[in-house]
A and B are shown apart, each in its own frame.
Chain A
Amino acid sequence: MEKQAGIGKGIDTTMLLLYYALVLVGFIAIFSVEYRTGDSFFQSLLELKKNYSKQVLFIGISSLVAVLILLTDSKFFTTTANLLYMAGILLMLLTFVIGKDIGGSRSWIALGGGFNLQAAELCKIFTALALAKYLSRQETEFHTIRSQIIAFVVTLTPAVLSIAQKETGLALVYLSFFLVMYREGLPVIYLIVGFSIIILFITAIVLSFQLYSIMMGIGLLIAVYFLWRKVKRNFFILLLLVLIAGSCILFKYFVDYVVFDKILKPYQSERVLSMFGKSYTPKDPERIAQLENEMAKGKKKDYSYNVKQSKIAIGSGGLLGKGFLQGVTTQGDFVPAQHTDFIFTAIAESFGFWGSALLLGLYFLLLFRIITLAERQRSTFSRVYAYSVAAILFFHVFINICMTIGLMPVIGITLPLLSYGGSSLITFTALIFIMIRLDADRQMVLR
């Protein structure tokens, strides 16, 4: 289909190749998770009863979506960007009313026939388009605080809605747009502040209160020492430094008593803390009672089970892996959600370090190719959009793989193009092919 002169013109074949390579790897992985010796392959393929057979259907639908996108005029995306964004937000709001509860989050809309749509997934595309549209406006001056704030609001609204839908993982992905904005001239200070907060957060988790306070005190003294001249000139700077140190100490309280006890759910707190070798002891009386109750009933779940099994599966792969369909951990269903969020473990167990490295290489090439594509765009719209695609993909790959190897707490986000699931695959397909479409028309100036 891509060979037709009409829509094939100007399309980046490297992207196409990488896309289909990853989709194929995904199918193989899902197949290896679910297939058991003795299953009739073709029959289950036709009956659509197995996940891998459904995935074939999703790949078909995705290809159809890809063709449709490639047939669409590029101007369609620029003109309807804001409209689509509004529709996306509306769809997300709609889930609060007609949403379907799947795995504890009301972010799905039933489409009938056993298929469900996750609005927040789709909204990523629309947000990318809307951000591109906003930043490519001639009147936007991105160095002004005002336009920066507008950009933040555009990107973070769906994130907030996602959190409200109890899809923390998806919300985190929206943070990836900061990478795009950084490329478009967002002052480095934002990234530094953001990074500092992450460091501070980790420090607050790892250290006890006393040690943490001492650290802050030492930090304050060091800052005063280096800024001594300025402090001598302006006394308020000292005051500011003390204030910063004080708020850092308050931040520890905030982390311990608000973030873990109020914002995050007990299992999330547990996952985050177990990353750092800590166990979650609630301080909120309501939660204490809940925990006691669970303990008494003997229903306390081991939240580190997923990661343990995931690490066992990956670690047992060794250099060359156990071979296709030979992974005992995979075949024994030891890793929960292995066909979706933990699909990487199937690859790592069956094909070992070489297989995993090769897969990472594919993603790496994909990301770098997208950045190359982005930089060759004439129009800001296309560039911003392409960067958004790169950033979203990067965050997904980064968080997903890090969570399977125990470098990140378990956050329910998919591995792009590999994980089982129609919403995820179609979203990423659309995301990538809109970019390919835009790239095909890179000679045009789009706004």
Chain B
Amino acid sequence: MAEFNQTRQTTIRIIIAAVFAIILVRLMTLQLFSSKYAKLANDQAILRKVVYPSRGIIFDRKGKAILDNITMYDLMVTPSQLKGVDTFSLCRILGVDTAEFKKRILTSIIKNSRNRPSVFEPLLSAEKYAKINENLFRFQPAFFLQERPIRSYPFKAAAHILGYVGEVDSSMLKRSNYFYQMGDFAGRSGLENYYEKVLMGQRGIQYIMRDNFNRPIGPYEKGEFDTASVAGRHLNTYIDIEVQQLAEKLMNGKVGSVVAIEPQTGGIIAMTSGPTYDPNELTGSESRKNFSRLFLDPASPLLNRGMQGVYPPGSTFKPLGALVALDEGLITPDFGYGCFGRYGPCGRPACTHSNAGHAANLSLSIANSCNSYYAHVFRMAIDNPSYNNVEKGLLKWKSYMTGFGLGHKLGIDLPGEYAGFIPDTARFNKEFRRGGWSSCTIASLGIGQGEIQATPLQMANAICLIANRGWYYTPHFVKNIEGETAEDTLLKKYREKISPLRIPNDYYQAVIDGMEMVVTNGTARNAHIDGFAVCAKTGTVENYFRKKKQQNHSFFVAFAPKENPKIAICVVVENAGYGATWAAPIASLLMEKYLTDSIAGPKRKAEIERISNVTIIPAKIKHERYVRDSIKQVKDSLLRMRLEREQKARIDSTDLAVAEKDFSDPVSLPEKKKEKTNSLIAVLPGQRYQYKKFHHPNI
């Protein structure tokens, strides 16, 4: 009976063939003609992971690591594996209560899903780490320890020099042309920032396959496309960490700066800025909190006053003024000035000395720091008869200043150096109109007061120039880079000797002799160091804050020994009084420490303690702290009031919630009460709210 249906087999074969053809066509469109699926597959299954190399270490001049890497541990948790883990004993080790534990687990689930590990406790303390590591088998596999390299400053010093590492921000991302990625860490200040490219090394990239829960399951293509990371290179610096530590100790409780430079190389031995902070505060888990505290402190501990503090140099400027006059041939080392306690021709400035002969020659004038002498010498330079014009005289004077390294950035290997300021004709023409000023008007420049501004770094560098008799190297910290090649151009400019002025050696000798007399029988006899010929100059700098005269800054510059100088130093203690009172003994102690590697005698050691225990807070900072504290007080009381108000409101709303329970249908609440529950409804999940609306379209 069925034979006559035999032709139907063809129909069936055609149907089958047609269906297979449709499937094939569809497969072609999926597999051959659309590339989006390949991309989707890779996007979801392959993770591009950046591997960060360890950063380079920074060593001081004696080879001590002053910025190192240490490994700390994060306790990680995978919430999905928590079942059966003895969480109670873990909480006891960590000192965490159950509520806190639950909160952390919940946060990690929300942040990172329950199948992926998240940080449960970052940067465990040594004690907690030891306890957990010992008991880890009890908490596995839900908990495990993950290494995290951290920058550490073993000497807790040189915060401003070394700088810190922080997460890059959006402006940095843009500036780096997106070389950095969100979440990367980079040097944010100090050497960490300046030598970032050297210290960071080369980032590696790993391609990791991951599964549907985003868990890594192994390298992609056996790591064929991975690139290895290259560790950062080390830096050898001129810093003497012991001198640095001593400087920080001496500057304790004071505002100001110490800059010490090795004259022969321009290598910076120490640079402190008071107040300072422990650089370890800006690494690790508390770094954000600490940063904002330091950032908001009115004493600006984050400011590196060594190169960012600008001051009139005061009397420490006088040796430079002398050199200008000598080089211009206006005076000889024998030139004397009869000062009677006041500079006569202009009526100011006053001089602290009035005894006859205290400025009988150049050396004496430096030793006694005669203001009249230097006002006079300055005026001679400005009114130099060979120019016959104050403007030309001032410009010539300014060119000398530029030669001394003042009024422009020196180019130290730290970011954020300030230029200071040397006034020129434009400044005075603007202030007094052209021709309206004379050498008398600006005579205070001669004694380093008035418009002139210099950083302690610039002053220390100028002393280097005097100590070297006419040349200097740009001050810098880094001696060399580990494995340095010709491609490392960062250090090139620090290896070029700079000698912009051609001042004869005799003139330097005269000035240096005077500076030696400052210590032997001049203003700073307390700066004497046994066995070394110290050349120095004190400074007592008048300064104003909001047009109100403040206590003088205590300034001191020095170098030692006189022949073949090893250290040049500039010390500034803000609002501390005479230069000889604070700055001079500090400089003396530091030079001794550097030159002899120790402090001789109990008397000198007691001196260290005496100075470091003195707190000199400038009046303006006291005032600012007072302002800040009173604002805080007001804010606190406002906050307290708000909290009280909210608490009261909460009690009200709980009453309402209880009342609400009595109604089976919350929507039928009386009109007045509904208004009050507004906030309550808003807290409910949106969907449930909609659900109510759905059933009661009349709301």
Chain A residues within CB distance 8 Å of chain B: 36-38, 141-142, 179, 182-185, 288, 292, 295-296, 311-319, 326, 328-329, 331-334, 348-349, 352-353, 356-357, 360, 363-364, 367-368, 371, 374-375, 380, 383, 387, 390, 394, 398, 401-402, 405, 407
Is B217 within 8 A of A332, CB to CB?
yes
Is A316 within 8 A of B16, CB to CB?
no
Closest to A294 in B: B687
**13 A-B pairs with C-beta separation under 8 A:** A182-B11, A183-B9, A314-B27, A314-B31, A317-B31, A331-B211, A332-B44, A333-B211, A353-B28, A353-B32, A360-B20, A360-B24, A371-B13
Shortest CB distance A287–B (Å): 13
Contacts of B20 in A (CB 8 A): 360, 363-364
Is B5 within 8 A of A183, CB to CB?
yes
Bound-complex Cα distance A67 to B694 (A): 64
Among B33-41, B535-543, B546-554, B575-583, the stretch that binds chain A is: B33-41
Closest to B17 in A: A364
Bound-complex Cα distance A413 to B11 (A): 26
Shortest CB distance A291–B (Å): 10
Contacts of B1 in A (CB 8 A): 141-142, 185
Bound-complex Cα distance A327 to B180 (A): 31
Bound-complex Cα distance A397 to B13 (A): 15
Bound-complex Cα distance A374 to B13 (A): 12
Is A185 within 8 A of B24, CB to CB?
no
Using A185-B2, A332-B212, A353-B27 as known contacts, say yes or no to A36 and B32 having CB atoms under 8 A apart. no
Using A405-B23, A407-B26 as known contacts, say yes or no to A348 and B31 having CB atoms under 8 A apart. yes
Bound-complex Cα distance A407 to B210 (A): 29
Bound-complex Cα distance A368 to B20 (A): 12
Contacts of A37 in B (CB 8 A): 218
Contacts of A329 in B (CB 8 A): 41, 44-45
Contacts of B36 in A (CB 8 A): 315
Contacts of B16 in A (CB 8 A): 364, 367-368, 394
The 8 A CB mask of B436-455 against A (1 = contact, 0 = none) is 00000000000000000000
Using A183-B5, A315-B38, A352-B31 as known contacts, say yes or no to A332 and B218 having CB atoms under 8 A apart. no
Interface centre among B20, B24, B691 (most CB of A within 10 A): B20
Q: Is B428 close to A, CB under 8 A?
A: no
Shortest CB distance A80–B (Å): 23
Closest to B685 in A: A296
Using A295-B687, A353-B32 as known contacts, say yes or no to A368 and B13 having CB atoms under 8 A apart. yes
Using A348-B31, A405-B30 as known contacts, say yes or no to A312 and B24 having CB atoms under 8 A apart. no
Shortest CB distance A68–B (Å): 30
Chain B residues within CB distance 8 Å of chain A: 1-2, 4-6, 8-9, 11-13, 15-17, 19-20, 22-24, 26-28, 30-32, 34, 36-38, 40-42, 44-46, 209-212, 217-218, 220-221, 685, 687-688, 690-691, 694
Contacts of B217 in A (CB 8 A): 36, 331-332
Using A179-B12, A182-B8, A360-B20 as known contacts, say yes or no to A315 and B31 having CB atoms under 8 A apart. yes
Is B2 within 8 A of A380, CB to CB?
yes
Contact partner of B27 (CB less than 8 A), chosen from A357, A374, A380, is: A357
Is A331 within 8 A of B209, CB to CB?
yes
Closest to B690 in A: A292
Bound-complex Cα distance A37 to B212 (A): 17
Using A332-B217, A356-B27, A402-B23 as known contacts, say yes or no to A318 and B38 having CB atoms under 8 A apart. yes
Is B27 within 8 A of A292, CB to CB?
no
Contacts of A38 in B (CB 8 A): 218
Is B30 within 8 A of A292, CB to CB?
no
Bound-complex Cα distance A328 to B41 (A): 7
Contacts of A185 in B (CB 8 A): 1-2, 4-5
Contacts of A405 in B (CB 8 A): 23, 26-27, 30
Is B687 within 8 A of A296, CB to CB?
yes
Closest to A368 in B: B13
Contacts of B19 in A (CB 8 A): 394, 398
Bound-complex Cα distance A222 to B46 (A): 57
Shortest CB distance A219–B (Å): 25
Contact partner of B41 (CB less than 8 A), chosen from A141, A182, A312, A375, is: A312
Contacts of B694 in A (CB 8 A): 288, 292
Closest to B684 in A: A296
Shortest CB distance B27–A (Å): 5
In the complex, besides A326-B221, A348-B31, 14 extra interface pairs with C-beta distance below 8 angstroms are: A183-B9, A185-B4, A288-B694, A296-B688, A311-B37, A318-B32, A328-B209, A332-B212, A356-B31, A364-B20, A367-B16, A375-B9, A402-B23, A407-B22
Bound-complex Cα distance A85 to B11 (A): 29
Shortest CB distance B10–A (Å): 10
Contacts of A394 in B (CB 8 A): 16, 19
Bound-complex Cα distance A380 to B1 (A): 9
Contacts of A315 in B (CB 8 A): 30-31, 34, 36-38, 40-41
Interface centre among A313, A316, A318 (most CB of B within 10 A): A316
Contacts of B38 in A (CB 8 A): 315-316, 318
